[in-house]
């Protein structure tokens, strides 16, 4: 599947008390396969809403989101769920690890109800090693630092070899030094695997290290420029 992700005239409106609020207002963007893109902007600028539409967790009010050559608005619910599983990995500010499961089990969790052609445990071990947690496979989340928990969450997002990693403020709950480590982990995975990364952040210093920086304000894209990585 090629051709990246294309957003055309994407608008998202939320209605409350009979009043409509535009979270996105006519956004046009193209994300190229294998690209590392940061999205910056103040709270309420539309960053997370854009990420949830790209990730097919929500649908636009109007406009189209194409992933590869598929218009995600036209896909049936079950087909969309399978497509999301195969194509997209999510990383969030809150780690969303299951507290009673080990690192290994948390990474395997997305595969529990799915038939796959590979050994689930071996695959989970391999991705934990890839993010530097080979020695923490049997640790519970409570036994891990915040940075280690986020790396488990990254490994979980990688377990099904997605084409895109979508990271919503993944360093937001971490100190700056640990946040830097998480960013470098994602950057290395982008280089090594060719997986595209779209990284939402409040941190302009981290954002500047991406291939490309998209800045949002008041539900619109106000800047789209090259980052330091290019």
Distances (CA, A) of 74 to 3, 64, 164: 18, 10, 20
Query: Do 185 and 132 contact (CB within 8 A), yes or no?
Result: yes
Q: Tell the CATH topology of 33-59+79-226.
A: Rossmann fold (3.40.50)
Beta bridge partners of 7: 29, 65
For 5, the enclosing helix (H) or strand (E) is: strand 5-16
Residues (pLDDT < 50) of the chain are none
* Short-list 176, 211, 171, CA closest to 191: 211
SS3 assignment, position 89: strand
Q: What is the largest CA-CA distance in the chain?
A: 54
pLDDT at 230: 53
Beta bridge partners of 25: none
pLDDT at 166: 96
* Short-list 126, 123, 230, 229, CA closest to 184: 229
pLDDT at 21: 85
pLDDT at 173: 86
Q: How many CB atoms lie within 10 A of CB 71?
A: 12
Q: Tally DSSP H helices, then E strands, for the chain.
A: 7, 10
Q: Return the domain boundaries, the chain.
A: 33-59+79-226
pLDDT at 229: 61
Q: How many CA atoms lie within 13 A of 44 on its CB side?
A: 3
């Amino acid at each position: 599947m090629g051709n990246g992700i294309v957003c055309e005239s994407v608008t998202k409106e939320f209605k409350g008390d009979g009043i409509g609020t535009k979270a996105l207002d006519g956004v046009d963007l193209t994300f190229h396969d294998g690209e590392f893109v940061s999205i910056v902007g103040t709270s309420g600028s539309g960053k997370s809403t854009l990420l949830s539409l790209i990730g097919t967790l929500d649908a636009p009010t109007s406009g189209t989101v194409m992933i590869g050559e598929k218009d995600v608005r036209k896909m049936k619910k079950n087909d969309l769920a399978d497509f999301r599983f195969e194509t997209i990995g999510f990383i969030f500010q809150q780690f969303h690890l299951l507290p009673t499961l080990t690192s290994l089990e948390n990474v395997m969790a997305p595969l529990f109800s799915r038939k796959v052609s590979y050994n689930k445990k071996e695959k989970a071990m391999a991705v934990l090693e890839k993010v530097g947690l080979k020695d923490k496979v049997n640790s519970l989340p409570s036994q891990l630092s915040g940075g280690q928990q986020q790396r488990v969450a990254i490994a979980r997002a990688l377990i099904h070899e997605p084409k895109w990693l979508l990271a919503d403020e993944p360093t937001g709950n971490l100190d700056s030094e640990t946040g830097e480590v998480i960013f470098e982990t994602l950057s290395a995975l982008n280089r090594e695997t060719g997986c595209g990364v779209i990284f939402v952040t409040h941190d302009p210093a981290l954002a500047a290290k991406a291939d490309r920086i998209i800045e949002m304000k008041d539900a619109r894209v106000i800047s789209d420029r090259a980052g330091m990585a290019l």
